Amino acid sequence: MSNAVVIDHPLIQHKLALLRDKDTGPKEFRELANEIATLMAYEVTRDLPLKEVEIETPIKKAKFKMIEGKKLGIVPILRAGLGMLDGVLKLIPTARVGHVGLYRDPETLEAVEYYCKMPTDVSERDLIVVDPMLATGGSASAAISFVKEKDPRSIKLMCLVSAQVGIDRVKKDHPDVEIYTAAIDEKLNDHAYIVPGLGDAGDRLYGTR
Ligand code: PRP
Ligand code: URA
């Protein structure tokens, strides 16, 4: 039982395979990460509430459905989460954006927090926390705890590549958070990298090491 929603539309699988390719450079990597995020956001927002509206077409007035002005917030986990932000905003351009800064200590593999800035009305907002990689789950779990201190209405987590152990960690620490991922890979290696994964997402996005 994965405990996560796997969004594996053929277009997503295709783009994710290209993203994983070690020969994909930062420019294409950034484009692909955002394209996949856009496609995933379509599914992650599937439960947005609708309201009935009256619209006059060139033929007649009739009742139709529109989104009920639900307040959303997108929260990239710095820094690699930024690589998905524009893709999500493309689909939800009116969403506010919060930022949560964390890095994974290479020695302890524990997440270290350094920044958290949420939209002013966060308590009225449903948040989508985004990060390409869910490995041990330490970063996502710490980021969600950090964000919860600001008292948002709800939180969803959206990742590109996950390991089952990371999904289990987040679900154990935050059973209320729904997790969406494009893939669940085999395992983690000794450095807690996802196998086969795609390597270090932040470094591949920004051409750093
Ligand atoms: C990566 C990734 C996640 C985290 C996942 O970030 O973007 O935030 O590792 O690993 P975990 O599930 O084991 O915590 P990293 O710490 O490399 O920082 P960066 O985004 O600044 O590159
Ligand atoms: N962080 C990454 O960027 N990649 C992994 O495989 C694991 C953690």
- Whether 135 is in the pocket of ligand 1, judged by its Cβ within 6 Å, is yes
Average pLDDT over residues 97-123: 88
Which residue from 159, 161, 193 has its CB within 8 A of the most atoms of ligand 2, so it is best to mutate? 193
* Residue 169 is a catalytic residue: no
| For residue 104, pLDDT beyond 80 | no
187 CA to middle of ligand 2, Å?
Answer: 12
ipTM beyond 0.95? yes
| Token code pair at residue 143 | 């980021």
- DSSP 8-state secondary structure symbol assigned to residue 4: S
Question: Which amino acid belongs to residue 45?
Answer: T
| For residue 1, pLDDT beyond 80 | no
pLDDT in tens, 14-59: 999 999 999 999 999 999 999 999 999 999 999 999 999 999 999 9
- Whether 103 is in the pocket of ligand 1, judged by its Cβ within 6 Å, is yes
- Per-domain boundaries in the chain: 3-204
| For residue 102, pLDDT beyond 90 | no
| For residue 86, pLDDT beyond 90 | yes
CA–chain centroid gap for 73, Å, is 11
Of 130 and 112, the structure prediction assigns the larger pLDDT to 130
Nearest ligand to the C-alpha atom of residue 84? 1
Question: Which amino acid belongs to residue 206?
Answer: Y
pLDDT, averaged across the chain: 95
| For residue 165, pLDDT beyond 90 | yes
Express as a percent the part of the chain with pLDDT over 70: 100
Q: Model confidence at 107, in pLDDT bands (50, 70, 90)? A: confident
- Whether 197 is in the pocket of ligand 1, judged by its Cβ within 6 Å, is no
Q: Measured between alpha carbons, how far is 147 from 116 in angstroms, rounded to an integer?
A: 7
Average pLDDT over residues 101-110: 81
Is CATH 3.40.50.2020 correct for 3-204?
Answer: yes
Cα→Cα distances 170→115, 157, 178, 184, Å: 20, 9, 9, 14
Tally of residues, the chain: 209
Q: Residue 2: what pLDDT?
A: 82
User: Which position among 23, 46, 57, 108 bears the catalytic label?
Assistant: 108
